[in-house]
Amino acid sequence: MQKSALRDKIFSGSRISRSEAVGLFSWDILDLGAAADARRRIVHPEDTVGFILDRIVNYSNICEAQCGFCAYHARAGFVEPYELGIDGILGKIDELARMGGTQVMLQGGLHPERGLEHYEAMAAAVKERFPDIVLHSFSPAEIIHMSRKSGVGLNECVARLKSAGVESVPGASDILVDRIRKIVSPNKISRDEWKSVMLALAENGMKSSATMTYGMGESIEEKAEHLDFVRSVQDETGIIRAFIPWSFSPGNTGFEGMVPAGGIEFLKVVAIARIYLDNIKFIQAGWLTEGLGLAQIALSFGANDMGGVLTEELVVKATGVERIAGMDDFIGLIRAAGRVPVQRDSDYRTIRTFR
Ligand code: SF4
């Protein structure tokens, strides 16, 4: 298709094909940004940009998957193992609650001796002490691990987590291309297993998200394959509230020699995600890996959400990338981008607008 015809298709809000998405990667970056911004305005004419006050609680780095692309998990001689007890977890959430935070992400490694019962008890203890904090917790890989360790079917596993207080699940997708998964995380779940968790969540009336970790040796066609898989799962389930792309940080991983993807690649991925994922309303600017400056620019490339003001995060930090930002930083940079900052809840409803 001619560039002008594809441009018309994008500006009219029509669905584009996977091969058209591949073609977008060779567009001039500013043309691509303008097209993505036009798509964002169709979905979000209101010009607001959201953020949420939340905290990631990384409860343990003990993990039997030992993925090569992960710097966080315990490794003999490199990274000391740790596991937080319930008091340690509640103490961290208490700090968030006192700051007015509304959401917690419990996330950790695939512990060889912990099954579903352990995580049910963890979620129930958090909800008992903090009934108003939303538990957006446990990734698809953790859920499959719990289900296997306890010999419980996936649907029942998800239903029991929901009963224990888990409201939604971060869709931690890495890259949904099995060729790359076999290289960087051969012991972690496959793409089809990721989808099986999404179907179980849909069956149980729970929401999720999808992410994309790119820059791990995948081709442009494989980037488009990831986006296409996410779009098809969303067509089937409708449970994906947001899409969050971030680049692979190779520091302290088994792929340390890899060259980070860079800013232009990030803006392309954000923009093409906005255009291609016509069934997902919220596209986040991944400031945690890309930094606040580039995330701010991504707001003109289709992104309309800054994600969480995280008070602690250990997984990205383990790669040597550490970013700290407060609510005032978010408000300032959103305003400077000509947009209206909005504190939101886990369902993307406005809590407070900063005009
Ligand atoms: S990415 Fe997750 S599953 Fe893989 S080693 Fe790290 S903590 Fe474990």
86, pLDDT greater than 80: yes
- Minimum CA distance residue for ligand 1 atom 1: 70
Report residue 271 as tokens: 């923009």
Question: What is the per-residue pLDDT for 353?
Answer: 97
Please name the residues in contact with 333: beta carbons below 8 A apart, sequence gap of 6 or more: 292, 295, 296
- CA dist 350 and 52 (Å) reads 10
Taking the centre of ligand 1 as the mean of its atom positions, its distance from the CA of residue 31, in whole angstroms, is 37
Question: What is the per-residue pLDDT for 67?
Answer: 96
281, pLDDT greater than 80: yes
Task: Give the pLDDT band (50/70/90) at residue 24.
Answer: very high
189 pocket-lining for ligand 1 (C-beta < 6 Å):
no
Q: Is 52 inside a domain boundary?
A: yes
Q: Which residue has the tokens 């419980």?
A: 152
- CA dist 345 and 72 (Å) reads 28
Q: Is 9 inside a domain boundary?
A: no
Q: Is 7 inside a domain boundary?
A: no
Q: Is 10 inside a domain boundary?
A: no
Task: Give the pLDDT band (50/70/90) at residue 2.
Answer: confident
Question: What is the per-residue pLDDT for 313?
Answer: 60
**Mean local confidence (pLDDT), 125-144:** 98
Taking the centre of ligand 1 as the mean of its atom positions, its distance from the CA of residue 355, in whole angstroms, is 41
94, pLDDT greater than 80: yes
Q: Is 2 inside a domain boundary?
A: no
What average pLDDT does the chain have?
95
Task: Give the pLDDT band (50/70/90) at residue 185.
Answer: very high
Q: Is 166 inside a domain boundary?
A: yes
161, pLDDT greater than 80: yes
273, pLDDT greater than 90: yes
Question: What is the per-residue pLDDT for 33?
Answer: 98
How many folded domains does the chain comprise? 1
- CA dist 245 and 270 (Å) reads 7
Q: Is 118 inside a domain boundary?
A: yes
145 pocket-lining for ligand 1 (C-beta < 6 Å):
no
73 pocket-lining for ligand 1 (C-beta < 6 Å):
yes
Judge whether 137 and 171 are in contact, CB under 8 Å. no
**Mean local confidence (pLDDT), 43-56:** 95
pTM over 0.85: yes
Distances (CA, A) of 284 to 40, 59, 154, 276, 306: 12, 25, 29, 14, 5
**Mean local confidence (pLDDT), 147-156:** 98
Q: Is 3 inside a domain boundary?
A: no
Please name the residues in contact with 293: beta carbons below 8 A apart, sequence gap of 6 or more: none
**Mean local confidence (pLDDT), 138-152:** 98
Task: Give the pLDDT band (50/70/90) at residue 204.
Answer: very high
134-136/103-107 β-pairing: parallel
CATH number, position 165: 3.20.20.70
Within a 13 Å sphere around the CA of 275, how many CA atoms are in the beta-carbon half? Answer: 32
- CA dist 100 and 97 (Å) reads 5
Domain that holds residue 179: 17-350
Task: Give the pLDDT band (50/70/90) at residue 314.
Answer: low
Taking the centre of ligand 1 as the mean of its atom positions, its distance from the CA of residue 236, in whole angstroms, is 27
Question: What is the per-residue pLDDT for 275?
Answer: 98
- Helix spans in the chain (H): 3-11, 18-24, 29-43, 86-98, 116-129, 140-149, 154-164, 178-184, 191-203, 220-237, 263-276, 287-290, 292-298, 327-336
